[in-house]
Structure 1
Amino acid sequence: MNENILGIIAGTLTSISMVPQLVKVLKEKNVEDLSWVMLLVLIIGVSLWVWYGIIKGEWPIIISNTFSVLLNITLLICYMIYRKK
């Protein structure tokens, strides 16, 4: 198997893993089960993967992790909007 295809498949699967969580949050407008610290650490981590991908010129890493950053930032925004004060 071509290594780029493997990278694209791996990146796609890991990036879409948070989609069900986002859908649930948007549907229920409930973020009680989310940890903002976990989201922040995850955003920093995948942002570093994007940076690494840029340095290496690896498009599968750049694209999949950019999607993941955006998805997790969206979750963090939802957390800030829907949290109970």
Structure 2
Amino acid sequence: MIHPSMPALEILGFVAAVLTTLCWLPQALRTLRTKDTKSLSLVTQSSLTLGVGLWLIYGILLGNLPLILANAVTFVLVVLILAMKLRYG
């Protein structure tokens, strides 16, 4: 089994964090701009928000910076989308 060095693992974590976090930015911006949330599932968005919140707590408890940063930013974005869904249906 290959054992990558910790810096390589951290880089991998940060790259994954950036990619999975930034993918929510276009949806959040579109939702803010158009206020159109009809095509978004309330159950899915609520589950995602809860899941990301739990990942954030998990990252904090582990002290894992890539998990913390990625999930903190993602949490803000998905909460924003969820709030818009609740407000505009």
Q: Give TM-score, length-normalised by structure 1.
A: 0.88
3-state DSSP class of the match of 2:38?
coil
Highest CA radius of gyration, 1 or 2? 2
Report deviation, 1:81. Answer: 2.2
Unaligned runs of 5+ in 2: 1-6
Kindly provide the amino acid, as one letter, of the partner of residue 38 in structure 1.
Answer: T
* Aligned residue among 39, 52, 57 for 1:46: 52
Partner SS, residue 32 of structure 1: coil
2:32, 2:55 → 1: CA distance? 27
Deviations 1:9-59 (Å, cap 9, x if unpaired)?
101110111111112112222111111111111111111111111121101
The aligned amino acid for 1:35 is: S
Residue 58 (structure 1) aligns with: 64
Name the count of aligned residue pairs: 83
Structural mapping, 1:1-85, within 5 Å: 2-83=8-89
Runs of 4+ in 1 over 6 A off after TM superposition: none
Percent same amino acid among aligned pairs? 34
CA RMSD of aligned residues (A): 1.3
Q: Where in structure 1 are there 5+ consecutive unaligned residues?
A: none
- TM-score when scaled to structure 2? 0.84
